[in-house]
Amino acid sequence: MKAIYLRSARLPRRSLKKLKSLLEKLRSAPCQWCRFHLPRKTPPLVLMLPLLWGPFCSQPQAGESSVKARPAEPLFTHSPLEPDNICSIIPLGNVDPRGGHVLPADHVYFDYGGTNGLSVFAPAAGTVYAIRGQIHGGSKIEVRANENVSYYVAHVLVDSEVQIGRRVRVGQLLGKVSGDSMLDLGACDTRVRLPGLANPDRYPGPTLQTVAPLALFVEPLRSRLYAKVSRQGADKDGKIDFDQTGKLVGNWFHETLPVSDSARGGPEISAKQLAFVYDVQEPAEIRISVGGTVAPTGLYRVQNAAPDPATVGVDTGLVLYQLSAPKGEGASHGLVGPQAGSENKVLLVQVLSGRKIRVEYVSGRPTVAIRGFSTNATIFER
């Protein structure tokens, strides 16, 4: 696409400001806005920009999934584990605050039942561009498959033949499972920009470009892997981006966490994260994931009559969520919450604006006795 040059000397300053504003809108707005919502008096040059910009717009059309861009041809022709060794697969969006994932995970998990010594294979050919140690065992191997798509496997004891800068063949041995965790598989596509992560500066670049890894496998391997996914409903890929402007649903960050630090990992970062999302296996169930600053670290479910966070906005006012552990799960899975007979635990929440909420955690008091926020309330932001 040819570059368009504007000579500021020929345009009044006010016109330049308007043009800059329109260009910013074109960069961030969905394709429908680009094509149909420009002002009537828009200069002819700007009216032509959607025609040039359209093919490169990464925003989803109406009805499309947020994890939308899949390569024209599947890339993965080999399973990272032998399918018979896979007990189950957890899709995108798992939350495990005690394991460091307060926000929905941007990878899928291959549960191999803790069997030691299983081989890990390259699902596609490519060039290794990074190998990073992992807190929960083994290493993360990152591979660039082509100019758009990259993938990684994590919690692997790396084979000596796998080194940064070297090519790997499809099906090549990458190493052995670490045995300390499930095997992670993630993929990203530079043509994708997830719309449900409201502040891009809060996330690593690959997270913003996450795609569904299982969708990249060829058939019949793809269907065989989808059959192992632990998730109710037709959608087996999962979802990680839930943010909606002016709504409670999605990811939040404590006001003391600088935006510039948010994309870094580590317990000091996750402790200041909070998410109002949905269970990865039962997507109709609300989950509140707490990093620890506002309440005890853990994944909580809420009472049945609780309002859906996607419907809670500025006009809703104060909302009280009574917290408990997800059904059939407990502290051994990194999940916490009151059991039968234990003290009452409540999270008070109010949406203050499109990008700010007030939150307070109260325990040991009957819900009916809670009238509002105290001085212990704190602020979270997008």
Is 98 part of a structural domain of the chain? yes
Is 77 part of a structural domain of the chain? no
3-class SS of residue 229: strand
Is 76 part of a structural domain of the chain? no
pLDDT at position 23 is 47
Residue 207 sits in the same domain as residue 94 = yes
Residue 107 sits in the same domain as residue 194 = yes
Residue 255 sits in the same domain as residue 377 = yes
Give yes or no for a cis peptide into 206 (omega within 30° of 0): no
Residue 137 sits in the same domain as residue 175 = yes
pLDDT at position 13 is 57
Is 71 part of a structural domain of the chain? no
Is 2 part of a structural domain of the chain? no
For residue 313, the enclosing domain spans: 250-381
Q: Which of 183, 154, 176 shows the shortest CA–CA distance to 86?
A: 183
Q: Tokens at residue 239, please?
A: 């979802």
Residue 255 sits in the same domain as residue 349 = yes
pLDDT at position 369 is 86
Total domain count, the chain: 3
Q: Tokens at residue 96, please?
A: 């495990």
Predicted structure pTM score:
0.78
Residue 176 sits in the same domain as residue 264 = no
Instruction: Determine contact, residues 6/22, Cβ cutoff 8 Å.
Output: no
Alpha carbons 259 and 69: distance in angstroms, whole number:
27
Q: What is the pLDDT along the chain (382 residues), one digit of tens a residue?
A: 444 333 334 545 555 555 555 444 444 333 333 333 334 444 544 444 444 433 333 333 333 345 444 444 689 999 999 999 999 999 999 999 988 899 999 999 999 999 999 999 999 999 999 999 988 889 999 999 999 999 999 999 999 999 999 999 999 999 999 987 899 999 999 999 999 999 999 999 999 999 999 999 999 999 999 999 999 999 999 999 999 999 999 999 999 999 999 998 889 999 999 999 999 999 999 999 999 999 999 999 998 789 999 999 999 999 999 998 765 444 334 444 444 445 689 999 999 999 999 999 999 888 888 989 999 999 999 9
Q: Tokens at residue 301, please?
A: 């479910």
341: Cβ contacts below 8 Å, ≥ 6 apart: none
Residue 168 sits in the same domain as residue 92 = yes
Residue 265 sits in the same domain as residue 363 = yes
pLDDT at position 31 is 37
Residue 165 sits in the same domain as residue 257 = no
Residue 220 sits in the same domain as residue 254 = no
Is 199 part of a structural domain of the chain? yes
Is 66 part of a structural domain of the chain? no
Residue 143 sits in the same domain as residue 42 = no
Residue 181 sits in the same domain as residue 256 = no
